[in-house]
Amino acid sequence: MKLPPFGLGHSLYRGNLHGHSTHSDGVLSAQAVVETYADLGYDFTCLSDHLWIDDKFAATSVCDGRALDRKGFITLPSAELHCYGKTYDQDGVWHIVANGLPLDFACPDANETAPDLIARAQAAGAYVSLAHPEWYTMTTDEAMQVAAADAVEIYNHSCVVTSARGSGIAIADYLLNEGKKISFTATDDSHFELPDWGGGWVMVAAAELSQNALVAALKAGHHYASTGADFTDLQIEDGVLTVSSSPVENVVISGAGHMAMAETGKNMTVTQFDLSKFRSDWFRITLRDAAGKMAWSNPYYKSDLT
C-alpha cells in the first residue's frame, strides 16, 4: 500500500506557501517575487502579505497576483492574517497563514479572535497554517486555542536566517500527542532583505496545477515538506514501512511521546521499519542528508491504514 503523496497518480508540484512583497513589508515587487520563484524551478508560490489594520507593516487587502500567472507557474492568493491575543509577540498579534483565500476576504479587525479568524478563513476555502511557532514562543496553551488550523509550519527559512528560531516541530508534536490531526509545511517567509528564499518548500501531489487542486491536496495532506531532501516513495505492507528517498544519512520514524526508530548510514535510498511493535497509532518520517538538508512527511495513522 502506497502512502500519500505517492500512489495517487498525480504529479508533485513544488511551492512556497509563505512569502511577502511590497504589497506589505517585502522588499521586492509581486512581479519580482514571482520571477524569483519561477527562476528557481518552483511550480507555484504565494503572495501571503500581511493582512491587518497596522499600516506600518501590513495591507488591508489580499494581494492579487493573478496577472502574474504563466504557463507552468501559478500564484496562490494568500495572506498572513493577524489579530490580537498572542502573548510573546512585540505587537501582541497572532501570525496565521491562509493559502487559497478569496481576494475579497475582509481584513481582520481589533475584535476578532484567533479561533474565529481561523474558522473564517477555512470557511472561505483556505488552507490555514500556524506560522513560525518557535519564533514567537507559542505556548502549549496557545497551541490548543488554535488547534483547528490545518497545519503547523515546522520549518520557516526566514526565521532560521534572521533569528535562529525557525522550527515548529515541538508544537506540532504536542498537538499530535493531544489527538489533533494536523499536517506540516516548510516555508520561506521570504521578505528578501536577507537571503531568505529557496530554503523551505512543500511538494504537493495535485490533480493539476491550479488553485483549487493545490488547496484540496494540501487539505487532504497529500504533500511533504522539505529543505532539500526528497521522498521518492512510501509503502507499507504487513506492518513494514519502506521509505524510498534521495540519498540520506538518517531516517527517523517518530510517534507518540518519545517513541522513535532510526536508521543511519551513507547514501541510503531505501530504508525499512517494522511498525508492528511501534507503540503509537501515529507516526511521521524525517529525512536528513549529508549536507543537513531535511524532509518531513505528514503524520500517518496506523488505524487509518488498516
Looking at residue 306, its pLDDT comes to 73
CATH number for the region 231-305 comes to: 2.60.40
Q: How far apart are CA 12 and CA 289, in angstroms?
A: 21
DSSP 189-217: -B-SSSS-SSS-EEEEEESSSSHHHHHHH
What is the rounded CA–CA span in Å between residue 140 and residue 57? 27
Q: How confident is the model at residue 268 (pLDDT cuts 50, 70, 90)?
A: very high
196 φ, ψ (degrees, to nearest 5) = -115, 30
Q: Is 6 helix (H, G, I), strand (E, B) or coil?
A: coil
Domain ranges of the chain: 11-226, 231-305
**Phi–psi pair at 87, nearest 5 degrees:** -70, -60
The Cα 126–Cα 152 span in angstroms is 14
Mean per-residue pLDDT of the chain: 97
Q: pLDDT class for 277, splitting at 50, 70, 90?
A: confident
Kind plus residue range of the DSSP H or E element containing 175: helix 169-177
pLDDT at 278 over 80: yes
Rounded Cα distance between 139 and 84, Å, is 15
Q: Is the pLDDT of residue 83 over 80?
A: yes
The pLDDT-based confidence of 244 (bands split at 50, 70, 90) is: very high
**Cβ atoms of residues 30 and 62 within 8 Å:** no
DSSP result, 51-90: ESS-TTT-BSS----GGG-BTTBEEEEEEEE--B--SSST
Architecture of domain 11-226: Alpha-Beta Barrel (3.20)
Mean of pLDDT values over 174-179 = 98
Q: How far is CA 146 from CA 35, 111, 140, 142, 196, in A?
A: 34, 16, 10, 7, 27
Confidence band, pLDDT 50/70/90 cuts, at residue 91: very high
Mean pLDDT for the stretch of residues 286-302: 98
**Location of C-alpha cell 496565521:** 96
What is the torsional sign of CA 88, 89, 92, 98?
A: negative
pLDDT number for residue 80: 98
Contact 4, 221 (CB under 8 A): yes
| Whether the domain at 11-226 and the domain at 231-305 fall into the same CATH topology | no
Query: What's residue 191's pLDDT?
Result: 98
Cβ atoms of 196 and 267 closer than 8 Å? no
> Is the peptide bond preceding residue 299 cis, with omega within 30 degrees of 0?
no
Cα separation, 153 vs 159, whole angstroms: 11
Question: Is this prediction's pTM over 0.75?
Answer: yes
Confidence band for 71, pLDDT divided at 50, 70 and 90: very high
Task: Give the tens place of pLDDT for each residue, 199-210.
Answer: 999 999 999 999
User: What is each CA distance from 229 to 69, 104, 113, 120, 293, in whole angstroms?
Assistant: 27, 37, 37, 35, 6
Q: Report percent pLDDT > 70 for the chain.
A: 100
SS3 46: strand
Backbone Cα Rg of the chain: 19
